[in-house]
Structure 1
Amino acid sequence: MALAPMDYAGSISSGQKYLGGFGLPTSSRLQWVGYDMKSRTYQLVARAMSVDQPQLDFSNPDWKKQFQEDFNKRFSLPHLRDVIDVEPRPTTFSLKSRTPLENVNGTMQESWNGYVNDDDRALLKVIKFASPTSAGADCIDPDCSWIEQWVHRAGPRKQIYFEPQYVKAGIVSCGGLCPGLNDVIRQIVLTLEKYGVKNIVGIQHGFRGFFEDHLSEVPESLAVVQTFQTLLTVFRQARRLDMLFVLGGNGTHAGANAIHDECRKRKLQVSIVCVPKTIDNDILLMDKTFGFDTAVEAAQRAINSAYIEAHSAFHGIGLVKLMGRSSGFITMHASLSSGQVDICLIPEVPFTLDGPNGVLRHLEHLIETKGFALVCVAEGAGQEYFQKSNATDASGNMVLSDIGVHLQQKIKSRFKDIGVHSDVKYIDPTYMLRAVRANASDAILCTVLGQNAVHGAFVGFSGITTGVCNTHNVYLPIPEVIKSTRFVDPNSRMWHRCLTSTGQPDFH
């Protein structure tokens, strides 16, 4: 039986994240979710996530086979054939070359064999850890046994399960802006047209756009998840959609999966495919999400400006607040790539402001030795210093207190108290990061994701998302990527590299 999510706390190294650690039932996987903010200690809080896998007995010689069978079941992709009787037909997505290609034997061929086979797979994990104490080790058992975990490769197939001339496809984006959003939508439209789809519509204002005629009747506080069944009726009867492409983060993926489940219950030939859209790069199992590289690049301009301001002032202190509600990937990567940051603060790693080992004391040291300093903080860091509020925004996210302003005030107050002059330069470039054009790297990623989303829909998959895993383009079942938010692992090599670059101590 699957476990309900439960929290456990205890001192844990990255290598102790194997099954059975801390007395957890072996049917659960430990996933790193953060530190215990209340106790201000470096105790890892682990969550026993429900993964619907059988209880494993490591003394059983067949436990690896049992684990692999369960993994294959969880990562199998839902298909229209599972619920309705539908026959495949030859694809209308042509890969014919403009000029004949030459075979190895010298003869000419008319087309390039560029289709993906249904049995193609990519490895979910590629590192074989030798020890649980290895940096970033994610082990299944205490011996870090290697088990191949394969996921489905993305791309066009030779057979499809829709007749393009009769398809009506819809595209909906939920949440905030993200660099590359238009690029993804453009590629979805272009690829649909390449298949021969003529009826393509965009849904405005997220999931609420399905209720456009009755928008005023939907209360602002009404959770989207409460309206999925009605939403399905609307887009099947009024919209009459056969494919729905959903762009968004974890919450949006959960909504898309609920629509997919309802479609399966009603045995409808509707394909629901997601494209992860989160600038914070906090989607599980994926290398990165589109817009992240652009955001890090845009953050460089803010960091460089703060550096120049701080370096040019007498006892200047540059303070930059970057995006990252729960995950500090943007702040970590921006700090690491700039080479100018002295202190990097992220939500996953708590810090003490006061005291001999606090942030403020280290700032004093930097002013004494360097004459200036640069601090980079994620918006979700240090929330334990504020009174907890139950307020939420329009998307249901907890409203965060402004750690940037708080740090600015604390720094000014501290240096005033010790009688040392300071000149704090505070920069918040949040909207500069969101509303910029995607750079070359993200533009290419958006192209691949948009095209693969359409390929996945035409091949008959539904309830899936597309992304990059270990540099390979894959399809993943939505439930596997929304089990939790992806966080920076303080035991990872990347965080260690960031600490080496900044030279900051442990603030506790």
Structure 2
Amino acid sequence: MAAAVKTSGGFCNTQQQWLHSTRDLFLHGSTRSNAKECKSKKTKKPTSLCVKATSAKVELDFNDPSWKQKFQEDWDNRFNLPRITDIYDLKPRPTTFSLKKQRTPTGDEDSTPMDMWNGYVNNDDRALMKVIKYSSPTSAGAECIDPDCSWVEQWVHRAGPRKDIYYEPNEVKAAIVTCGGLCPGLNDVIRQVVFTLETYGVKNIVGIPFGFRGFFEKGLKEMPLSRNLVENINLAGGSFLGVSRGGPKTSEIVDSIQARRIDMLFVLGGNGTHAGANAIHDECRKRKLKVSVVAVPKTIDNDIPLMDKTFGFDTAVEEAQRAINSAYIEARSAYHGIGLVKLMGRSSGFIAMHASLSSGQVDVCLIPEVSFALDGEYGVLQHLEQLIKNKGFCVVCVAEAAGQVSELSVELLQNSGATDASGNAILSDIGVHMQQKIKTHFKGIGVHADIKYIDPTYMVRACRANASDAILCTVLGQNAVHGAFAGFSGITSCICNTHYVYLPVTQVITAPKRVNHKGRMWHRCLTSTGQPDFR
């Protein structure tokens, strides 16, 4: 929910303290450890506290009886889906996507006639973004808009095929591009996009090789795609089209789109790729091009906001669990063994948290959203010392950004400030750092420690999707095509609150999603590991 909360008035109380922490939870999915503390101020005259929330387009005063209506109007405006009909006066035509041909008459007089069967989604169908009504901001994992945790309905557009479409399939040229790093499920999505396009009747389908680089790099030619060609690509990991980070300027990409006469562009990628897709969408609208740009969220880290999960995450957790199990076996089999596993998570600790929960073998889980100290009486090293003393071995799981995201936790490693081609911060190796710190600590106290360090990053990225992700990829890929034919552009096909929906890309690129360290899932992880507070 993109709303920042602020207060006005001459004094500060517990309600204002709630607002500071809730604002960051509201915007980023977690509170920031360096948030300014509320300091009491003496005033000559008591004044009323006016609590306000500022969203992208409207300022809300919670003392105003109509604030809920204003919030919902602003929400509807921000989550309204862009369409090519916003710039083109187009008449809809009946869809060419039909499943009636797969139905056979039963001969039963009471059965529904075939011409009355309807498997389409109505344009007015909506899904609720949130379903829990919290009674208080103190409830575990509470995400509240106002201090009273008032219930406000937040609806988003349901995904799926429509009765009316805005493209003639025989005239469509569709392109698919995979950007960023590898992720389980890329081939599954490519496959389903091609299958669904052909079901509509599209004949001209191409793949852009090696991400956005394929739009400008000499020697990289677009690859014709068909059902026969992609039939079995889901049986292998990686990307059939290849991936790369970064790319040319947006204007150059759109120049290439124009030159290639592309009508639909399906972009598979994470946060940075979604930002790129949004820039391409904006440039196409600026030039008044009839091009639908539809994104499919791909990130192992599961850090795109508003979504339940992104494809590749379940597979990553499953593979990470295998690494943890190996570390457990190694540690348990060694004298004073310490298994140390570093998992992916550039800005969030979802993989580390879920893998620790699912394995049940982790004694310490460290994520970037929660501050921790290595040294000192309450530090991680002291706890490891106790674990070795009490049970003879232990397992530590650490997310790659743990201790390195300055606005979330105390920095243990100095940040160089360097970025990769996608604009992501290049992190120091927290795994190697912890390995050295553990060795030094136990050597200093004269206790033997046998450290087994495992970094399964590239093994996790390169594997094929598991059953759960394969299903998710299938639905997201199909819905991406349905969205393009329905005339939407600048949208992403995703799952929210267990329902498949479309969201404007602008609403999912504001900030990374992060683990709510006050939420139930993190509390469950702490219960499983039994670790104390390391601050």
The reply to whether TM is greater than 0.5 is yes
Q: What's 1:45 paired with?
A: none
Residue 298 of structure 1 aligns with which residue? Answer: 319
Q: Which residue of 2 aligns with 1:9?
A: none
The 3 A distance-change label for structure 1 pair 412 and 102 is farther
How far the C-alpha of 1:30 sits from its partner, in A, is 4.4
Offset of 1:90 from its aligned partner? 0.4
**Identity level (%):** 70
Q: Could you say what the CA RMSD is over the residues aligned between the two structures, in angstroms? A: 2.8
Amino acid at match of 1:455: H
Select the residue among 167, 171, 174 that pairs with 1:169.
174
Q: Distance in 1 between matches of 2:109 and 2:61?
A: 52
In structure 1, list runs of 5 or more residues that go unmatched. Answer: 7-13, 42-47, 216-221
SS in 2 for 1:286: coil
Within-5 A mapping of 1:368-387 = 368-383=389-404, 384-387=411-414
Give the whole-Å Cα distance in 1 for the aligned partners of 2:382 and 2:173.
61
Are 1:17 and 1:139, in contact at CA under 8 Å, matched by a contact in 2?
no
Find the partner of 2:249 among 216, 219, 227.
227
- Name the residue aligned to 1:139: 144
| Structure 2 counterpart of 1:218 | none
Tell me which of 250, 254, 269 is aligned to 2:290: 269
Cα deviation, residue 200, structure 1: 0.6
CA contact (8 A) 2:20 2:35 kept: no
The aligned amino acid for 1:212 is E
Alpha-carbon contact 2:492-2:503 (below 8 Å) kept:
yes
- 1:241-299 deviations in Å (ceiling 9; x for gaps): 00000011111111111111111122211100000010100010000000100010001
2:59 counterpart SS class? coil
Tell me the residue number matched to 1:435.
462
Q: SS of the counterpart of 1:100?
A: coil
| C-alpha distance 314-77 of structure 1, shift in aligned 2 (>3 A) | same
Aligned match of 2:227: none
CA contact (8 A) 2:26 2:143 kept: no
Contact residue 15 and residue 133 of structure 1 kept, 8 A? no
The structure-2 alpha-carbon separation of the partners of 1:158 and 1:341, relative to structure 1 and needing over 3 Å to count, comes to: same
Label 1:99 to 1:214 Cα distance change in 2 as closer, same or farther (>3 A).
Answer: closer
- The two structures have a TM-score, normalised by structure 1, of 0.90
Looking at structure 1, the residues matched to 122 and 310 of structure 2 have their Cα atoms a distance apart, in angstroms, of 25
State the distance in 2 between where 1:173 and 1:328 align.
24
| Partner of residue 153 from structure 2, selected from 126, 148, 167 | 148
What corresponds to 2:68 in structure 1? 64
Shift of 1:57: 1.4
2:341 to 320, 343, 349: 320
| 1:107 positional shift | 5.6
For 1:486, the aligned partner's letter is K
Distance 1:82 1:102, change over 3 A: farther
Partner SS, residue 157 of structure 1: coil
Q: 1:31 aligns with which of 17, 28, 33?
A: 28
User: In the TM superposition, what whole-angstrom CA distance separates every residue of 1:31-76 from its partner, at most 9, and x where no partner exists?
Assistant: 345644799x9xxxxxx99842311111211111111111000000
Question: SS of 1:289's equivalent?
Answer: coil
Structure 2: 5+ residue stretches without partners:
7-13, 38-51, 221-244, 405-410
In structure 2, what is the Cα distance between the partners aligned to 1:478 and 1:316? Answer: 47
**Worse-superposed segment, 108-117 or 290-299:** 108-117
Q: 1 CA distance for matches of 2:506 and 2:313? A: 23
**1:236 aligned to 236, 258, 267, which one?**
258
1:30–1:478 Cα change, 3 Å: closer
Aligned partners of 1:17 and 1:138 also within 8 Å: no
Q: How many residues align?
A: 482
Amino acid in the other structure paired with 1:414: H
Q: What is the match of residue 398 of structure 1? A: 425
1:364 equivalent among 385, 391, 396: 385
Q: Does 1:75 align with 2:79?
A: yes
Amino acid at match of 1:331: A
1:118-137 deviations in Å (ceiling 9; x for gaps): 10000011110011101111
8 Å contact kept, 1:328–1:346 = yes
Give the counterpart of 1:469 among 496, 500, 503.
496
Take 1:322 and 1:460, find their aligned partners in 2: how far apart are those partners? 39
Q: Which amino acid aligns with 1:362?
A: H
Letter in 2 for 1:489: N
TM-score by length of 2: 0.85
For 1:337, the equivalent position in structure 2 comes to: 358
Aligned-pair distance for 1:390? 2.0
Which residue matches 2:446? 419
Where does residue 346 of structure 1 map in the other structure? 367
Three-state SS of the structure 1 residue aligned to 2:533 is coil
Change (3 A) 1:5 1:295: same
Q: Deviations over 1:381-439 (max 9, x none)?
A: 12222222022223222111111111111111111111111111111111111011110
Contact 1:452 1:466 in 2 (8 A): yes
